[in-house]
Amino acid sequence: MTLEQLHAIFLLHPTVCTDTRKITKDCLFFALKGPNFNGNEFAQQALENGAAYAIVDEAEHKTSANCILVKDVLETLQNLATFHRNYCNARIISLTGSNGKTTTKELIYAVLSKKYKTVATHGNLNNHIGVPLTLLSIKPDTELAIVEMGANHKGEIAFLCDIAQPDFGYITNFGKAHLEGFGGIEGVIEGKSELYQYLIPNKKYIFLNADDPIQLEKLASYIKKIGFSINNPEYFNIKLMGADPFVVIEVEDSKISTQLIGGYNFPNCCAAITMGKYFNVPLEEIKSALEYYIPANNRSQIIEKKGFKIILDAYNANPSSMKVALDNFKNMRGAKKALILGDMFELGTEAQVEHQAIADLAHDLGFSTVFLVGGNFYKTQSTFKKFESFTDLKKHLESNPLPNSSLLIKGSRGMALERVLEFL
């Protein structure tokens, strides 16, 4: 079967599923493989559960006419996504970066969907499977598609660009994330800049934070760029009026009061505002989109509970995001403040140095009630309370309840620190 023939089937059944537990009627089931599973083995089950077709790559699992045998299911999914991307008229906006990708993507979606039929990456499905799934969610009437791209090794962003073929791009920042895979901060910069390496030779537009010296240097001679800045007159000016705790912005004499905490969310808002202005979304609609957006999924959420004012930022963490979170928390009003910090993952040989640096920063900023959780933080030299596991932390807090205070909870996804809320 040719790719064009498969796409014709997809147009008749435009829902893709890769998990038999989430089969919907008349969907296409792609039998992907993983380290611990083989989707081919579930193809027949997918059909019995209502899938219209199952795409498999093992001949013994082609059990009916509704099983489509291909050479490689994952490669077919990716190629189908690119084919569909070029079949549709939607313009593609791709974004990557070390921190803030998902929040920025959601803010951009909130703004652009005020005027255009827009789709965006669901959650953080931003890898070699998630990007194709996002592209295949584009409908015939979709005008803009926002595609988040994640990576933890060099070459991944370049590969995702080949699949998505973006018309526009934006890099949130270059930070200390996935150092193990990228081989250090220079590797991070090189890996994320693969988005530029696709966009520039193809003469596509690039959005940039003109107050980021790395972005400014890399795009210094590139003409097709649209930037924002606090005070550089060459770019669209947006001002930060405050962030205690919520970000307040001034743009074109209009005040935008968001429900996002922390100055680190200011550039994320700026990116959404700049794209909104570029795509001619009225400023009042931009303002409405940003003011009504409420963060969720453990990302900088503010929760009031039993006398605690909690900043729950437990979706992910790396040295860069941890530093700005601590700096922001220090500058917030409140007499009593406490920290629960969990290990930062994928730092490789830099893990111990980076965890020690965060422990030192917490001390230097004057925090006294600090709980460090995880194997890496446990090895740090500090006077703070340290726990090798979450279970140890739980036992301690159940026996020694925290007094009412402002509380920042931050750690990598694998630490699942949101569990603290269950027994606080």
What are the residue ranges spanned by the domains of the chain?
A: 3-71, 88-292, 301-422
Domain pair 88-292 / 301-422, same fold = no
User: What fold characterizes domain 88-292?
Assistant: UDP-N-acetylmuramoyl-L-alanine:D-glutamate ligase (3.40.1190)
pLDDT (tens digit, 0 to 9) for every residue of the chain, 424 residues total? 899 999 999 999 999 999 988 999 999 999 999 888 899 999 999 999 999 999 999 999 998 999 999 999 999 999 999 999 999 999 999 999 988 888 999 999 999 999 999 999 997 789 999 999 999 999 999 999 999 999 888 889 999 999 999 999 999 988 776 777 777 788 888 999 999 999 999 999 999 999 999 999 999 999 999 999 998 999 999 999 988 888 999 999 999 999 998 888 999 999 999 999 999 999 999 999 999 998 877 677 888 887 788 889 888 888 988 998 999 899 887 768 999 999 999 898 889 999 999 999 999 999 999 999 999 999 999 999 999 999 999 999 999 988 888 899 999 989 999 999 888 7
Residues 39, 73: contact at Cβ < 8 Å?
yes
What is the second-level CATH architecture of the domain 3-71?
3-Layer(aba) Sandwich (3.40)
Closest CA to 344 of 365, 366, 325: 325
Within 10 Å of residue 400's Cβ, how many Cβ atoms?
8
Superfamily per CATH, domain 301-422: Mur ligase, C-terminal domain (3.90.190.20)
